[in-house]
Amino acid sequence: MFFVKETKKHNEIKGLKELFLDYQSDPRGEIWPVFSESDFLPLFKEDKISISKKNVLRGLHGDSKTDKLITCIYGEIQLAVADMRKDSPTYGNCSMFHLSDGIPKSIFVPAGCVNGHLCLSEKCIFYYKWSEKYSGPLDQITIKWNDEKLNFSWLNKEPILSERDLNGINSKGVYL
Protein backbone atom coordinates (compact mmCIF):
# COMPACT_ATOMS: atom_id res chain seq x y z
CA MET A 1 0.00 0.00 0.00
CA PHE A 2 1.26 3.46 -0.86
CA PHE A 3 0.72 6.60 1.20
CA VAL A 4 -0.61 8.90 -1.53
CA LYS A 5 -2.62 7.86 -4.57
CA GLU A 6 -2.84 11.36 -6.05
CA THR A 7 -1.52 14.84 -5.16
CA LYS A 8 -3.33 18.01 -6.14
CA LYS A 9 -1.36 21.25 -5.85
CA HIS A 10 -3.38 24.37 -5.17
CA ASN A 11 -2.29 27.40 -7.16
CA GLU A 12 -4.09 29.72 -4.72
CA ILE A 13 -1.40 29.04 -2.09
CA LYS A 14 2.16 28.09 -3.03
CA GLY A 15 3.13 24.77 -1.42
CA LEU A 16 -0.41 23.82 -0.33
CA LYS A 17 -1.23 20.23 -1.32
CA GLU A 18 -4.33 18.06 -1.18
CA LEU A 19 -3.24 14.44 -0.77
CA PHE A 20 -5.70 11.73 -1.77
CA LEU A 21 -4.70 8.71 0.29
CA ASP A 22 -4.29 5.22 -1.12
CA TYR A 23 -6.73 3.35 1.10
CA GLN A 24 -7.95 -0.25 1.17
CA SER A 25 -11.43 -1.46 2.02
CA ASP A 26 -13.14 -4.80 2.45
CA PRO A 27 -16.31 -6.01 4.21
CA ARG A 28 -14.67 -5.35 7.61
CA GLY A 29 -14.05 -1.64 6.91
CA GLU A 30 -11.18 0.51 5.68
CA ILE A 31 -7.53 1.23 6.40
CA TRP A 32 -5.85 4.53 5.51
CA PRO A 33 -2.15 5.30 5.57
CA VAL A 34 -1.86 8.76 7.13
CA PHE A 35 1.88 9.25 6.79
CA SER A 36 4.87 7.58 5.20
CA GLU A 37 8.35 9.04 4.76
CA SER A 38 8.58 10.55 1.29
CA ASP A 39 10.53 13.03 -0.79
CA PHE A 40 8.05 15.90 -0.59
CA LEU A 41 7.22 15.92 3.11
CA PRO A 42 9.51 17.17 5.89
CA LEU A 43 10.43 15.12 8.90
CA PHE A 44 7.60 15.62 11.35
CA LYS A 45 8.42 16.02 15.05
CA GLU A 46 5.05 15.99 16.80
CA ASP A 47 1.52 14.66 16.32
CA LYS A 48 -1.56 16.32 17.80
CA ILE A 49 -5.25 15.45 17.99
CA SER A 50 -8.03 17.97 18.48
CA ILE A 51 -11.48 16.69 19.44
CA SER A 52 -14.34 19.14 18.99
CA LYS A 53 -18.10 19.30 19.33
CA LYS A 54 -20.43 20.50 16.58
CA ASN A 55 -20.08 24.22 15.71
CA VAL A 56 -16.70 24.63 17.44
CA LEU A 57 -14.29 26.68 15.33
CA ARG A 58 -10.58 26.53 16.18
CA GLY A 59 -8.18 29.00 14.58
CA LEU A 60 -6.92 30.74 12.51
CA HIS A 61 -3.48 29.86 13.95
CA GLY A 62 0.01 29.60 12.50
CA ASP A 63 3.69 30.51 12.64
CA SER A 64 6.61 30.99 10.28
CA LYS A 65 8.34 27.64 10.86
CA THR A 66 5.76 24.85 11.19
CA ASP A 67 4.50 22.73 8.29
CA LYS A 68 1.36 20.72 9.09
CA LEU A 69 -0.22 17.60 7.63
CA ILE A 70 -3.96 17.61 8.49
CA THR A 71 -6.44 14.71 8.37
CA CYS A 72 -9.99 14.34 9.71
CA ILE A 73 -10.15 10.87 11.23
CA TYR A 74 -13.69 11.13 12.62
CA GLY A 75 -16.66 13.28 11.67
CA GLU A 76 -16.63 16.25 9.29
CA ILE A 77 -14.72 19.51 9.25
CA GLN A 78 -14.44 22.62 7.15
CA LEU A 79 -10.75 23.55 6.92
CA ALA A 80 -9.58 27.08 6.06
CA VAL A 81 -6.01 27.99 5.06
CA ALA A 82 -4.53 31.46 4.36
CA ASP A 83 -1.04 32.36 3.16
CA MET A 84 0.63 34.92 5.46
CA ARG A 85 4.20 34.59 4.10
CA LYS A 86 5.62 38.05 3.37
CA ASP A 87 7.64 37.05 0.31
CA SER A 88 5.15 34.53 -1.06
CA PRO A 89 3.66 35.15 -4.51
CA THR A 90 0.37 33.91 -3.05
CA TYR A 91 0.41 36.12 0.10
CA GLY A 92 -3.13 36.77 1.33
CA ASN A 93 -4.69 33.99 -0.75
CA CYS A 94 -7.08 31.52 0.86
CA SER A 95 -8.36 27.99 0.33
CA MET A 96 -11.21 26.06 1.92
CA PHE A 97 -11.57 22.25 2.14
CA HIS A 98 -14.16 19.76 3.32
CA LEU A 99 -12.60 16.81 5.18
CA SER A 100 -14.35 13.83 6.72
CA ASP A 101 -13.79 10.29 7.86
CA GLY A 102 -15.49 9.22 4.62
CA ILE A 103 -12.93 10.96 2.42
CA PRO A 104 -9.40 9.49 2.66
CA LYS A 105 -7.31 12.62 2.14
CA SER A 106 -4.93 14.93 3.98
CA ILE A 107 -3.99 18.57 3.49
CA PHE A 108 -0.35 19.67 3.62
CA VAL A 109 -0.17 23.25 4.98
CA PRO A 110 3.20 24.95 4.51
CA ALA A 111 4.87 27.01 7.25
CA GLY A 112 3.81 30.65 7.14
CA CYS A 113 0.17 29.80 6.51
CA VAL A 114 -2.58 29.98 9.13
CA ASN A 115 -5.31 27.38 9.38
CA GLY A 116 -8.55 26.89 11.23
CA HIS A 117 -11.30 24.32 11.26
CA LEU A 118 -15.02 24.20 11.99
CA CYS A 119 -16.58 20.98 13.31
CA LEU A 120 -19.62 20.18 11.14
CA SER A 121 -20.63 16.86 12.75
CA GLU A 122 -21.74 16.13 16.33
CA LYS A 123 -18.09 15.35 17.09
CA CYS A 124 -14.93 15.51 14.99
CA ILE A 125 -11.36 14.38 15.45
CA PHE A 126 -8.76 16.54 13.72
CA TYR A 127 -5.37 14.81 13.48
CA TYR A 128 -2.26 16.69 12.46
CA LYS A 129 1.48 16.25 12.24
CA TRP A 130 3.81 19.17 13.01
CA SER A 131 7.30 19.75 11.58
CA GLU A 132 8.23 21.58 14.82
CA LYS A 133 7.44 20.97 18.48
CA TYR A 134 4.51 23.05 19.73
CA SER A 135 5.75 25.67 22.17
CA GLY A 136 2.41 27.27 23.01
CA PRO A 137 -0.01 29.87 21.68
CA LEU A 138 2.34 32.80 22.40
CA ASP A 139 4.64 31.58 19.62
CA GLN A 140 1.80 31.60 17.11
CA ILE A 141 -0.30 34.27 15.46
CA THR A 142 -4.08 34.15 15.91
CA ILE A 143 -6.09 35.85 13.19
CA LYS A 144 -9.83 36.51 13.55
CA TRP A 145 -11.88 33.64 12.22
CA ASN A 146 -14.13 36.14 10.42
CA ASP A 147 -11.40 38.46 9.14
CA GLU A 148 -12.92 40.68 6.44
CA LYS A 149 -9.84 40.63 4.20
CA LEU A 150 -9.60 36.82 4.17
CA ASN A 151 -13.40 36.53 3.80
CA PHE A 152 -13.79 32.81 4.48
CA SER A 153 -17.26 31.38 3.74
CA TRP A 154 -17.73 29.50 6.99
CA LEU A 155 -20.81 27.27 7.12
CA ASN A 156 -21.64 28.57 10.61
CA LYS A 157 -21.73 32.34 11.16
CA GLU A 158 -21.97 32.02 14.98
CA PRO A 159 -19.46 29.31 15.96
CA ILE A 160 -18.33 28.36 19.44
CA LEU A 161 -14.93 30.04 20.01
CA SER A 162 -12.19 30.09 22.66
CA GLU A 163 -11.04 33.34 24.27
CA ARG A 164 -7.91 33.17 22.15
CA ASP A 165 -9.93 32.97 18.93
CA LEU A 166 -12.42 35.63 20.06
CA ASN A 167 -9.46 38.00 20.53
CA GLY A 168 -7.71 37.24 17.22
CA ILE A 169 -6.22 40.10 15.23
CA ASN A 170 -6.97 41.36 11.71
CA SER A 171 -4.79 39.91 8.95
CA LYS A 172 -3.96 43.27 7.39
CA GLY A 173 -0.19 43.78 7.68
CA VAL A 174 0.44 40.35 9.22
CA TYR A 175 3.49 38.57 7.84
CA LEU A 176 4.94 35.24 8.94
Catalytic residue numbers, as ranges: 61, 128
118 with 56: CB under 8 angstroms?
yes
Burial (0-12, 13-18, 19+ Cβ within 10 Å), 99 = buried
Secondary structure in 3-state letters for the chain: CCCEEEEEECCCCCCCEEEEECCEEECCEEECCCCCCCCCCCCCCEEEEEEEECCEEEEEEECCCCCEEEEEEECEEEEEEEECCCCCCCCCCEEEEEEECCCCEEEEECCCEEEEEEECCCEEEEEEEECCCCCCHHHCEEECCCCCCCCCCCCCCCCECCHHHHCCECCCCCCC
